[in-house]
Each structure stands twice: as C-alpha cells, then as structure tokens.
Amino acid sequence: MNIVVLISGRGSNLQAIIKGIEEGLIKARISLVISNKKSAKGLEIAKRHGIKTVFINPKEFLSREEYDSKLIEVISKENPDLIVLAGYMRILSSKFIDTFEGKIVNIHPSLIPSFQGLNAQKQAIEFGAKFSGCTVHFVTKELDNGPIIIQAVVPVLPDDTEETLSNRILQYEHRVYPQAIKWISEGRVQVEGRKVIVKDAKYGTIPVNPSLEDF
C-alpha cells in the first residue's frame, strides 16, 4: 500500500506510523510527506527515514481551493492508496475530498462526535467531561465527523491541564493510528454509510474499541 502523509507540526504520529512500517507490522510504504509549514519537525523525521518531502507554501496561493488544487496535482503523481492526515492543520476543500473520496483518514484528539474542531482537549476540560480520547476516522466534508474506524478512551483527571490531557491521549494516538492503517492495508476495513466494520477484529473492549492487535 502506498501512503502520502500530510503534516503541519512535530510529526509524532508520522513517527509512529514509520516505526510500524519499518518493524514490518504495516505492509506499506510512505512515498511522500507534505507540509504546509516549512518549520514542521515532521519533515526532518521523514528525511531521516529516507522519505521524500515537499513544503507547499499557502502564502503563494490566493485561496484554499487554489492551494488544494496544487496539493491534488502533487499527490496524484504518487498514485496513493491512502492519504493520512497526521496533525495537518488546514481544512481540506470539497474538491480535494471529492478527488480522493474514501482514501483519506485522520486522527482527532476526542471521542467524536464530542469536541470537534480545534483545541479538543481544552474543550473537554472546560466542559467538565470525565472521559475523552482519540478517534481515527475517514475524512468527509463535515469537519471531524467522518465514519469511525477505532476509538480509544482516556479519563480526564480533576487536575488535568490541556497539556497533561493531550499527552495522555497522544500515547493512544501512537497506537490506534498505526493499527487502523494496518487494517486498511490488509483490506479488512469495510464501510457502509457511517458504519465501519473491521473484519475479524475483536469488539467490545475497553479502553480501545475495536481491540488493538499489534500496537
């Protein structure tokens, strides 16, 4: 399976996915990592692992649609089976999502449909939620609301800050995202409307549902 990854920042989820590939757990290759931030540390991670990188500067384009047209052009040359958003902080245009429909996945630091959008961890704390977590989902035109592949539950503690909760959630992000990508690479992920079933996966487990197998 050929993967293109979009990033904006430190690339910790990218690192987790690369690790899964290099350890032979995920039968895939990352052909390209693209960032909208020149300073994104994830670009250096990719380079260290011999992965091609591209920085596309949003300031050179008049609109989101124009920027995404360039993204489509660059990505299409790689002929990817999957596009992975790993801390990519731009909202994708309808044209982009239509072009790669069903091939884009994202991870969000909450239990969707709760706390969508930016600063999800802060939203959870301010709301007084007792649980939050992370969700791997397919990307649709509705922000952070696509069909869910896997979720992990993380408790919110009374003295949590946005940073402490984020770090606790991140530990699970680094496990559920590679797991979801492995399932996709194995052809085990079936989507029917909003419902996603992973063939032969174990359901009904806590804190991760369906249960982790490899990570």
Q: Single out the catalytic residue among 49, 108, 137, 174.
A: 108
Distance CA 151, CA 143 (A): 17
Residue 108 annotated to the active site: yes
User: How are beta strands 195-198 and 189-192 bridged, if at all?
Assistant: antiparallel
User: Are 21 and 48 contacting, i.e. CB atoms less than 8 angstroms apart?
Assistant: no
* 206 DSSP 8-state letter: S
User: Are 92 and 139 contacting, i.e. CB atoms less than 8 angstroms apart?
Assistant: yes
158-166's contacts with Cβ under 8 Å and 24+ in sequence apart are 160/125, 161/125, 162/119, 162/121, 162/122, 162/125, 165/121, 165/124, 165/125, 165/132, 166/109, 166/121
Distance CA 163, CA 183 (A): 30
Residues with Cβ within 8 Å of residue 117, at least 6 apart in sequence: 123, 143, 144
User: Residue 176, CB half-sphere, CA atoms under 13 Å: how many?
Assistant: 30
User: Residue 189, CB half-sphere, CA atoms under 13 Å: how many?
Assistant: 23
Residues catalogued as catalytic: 108
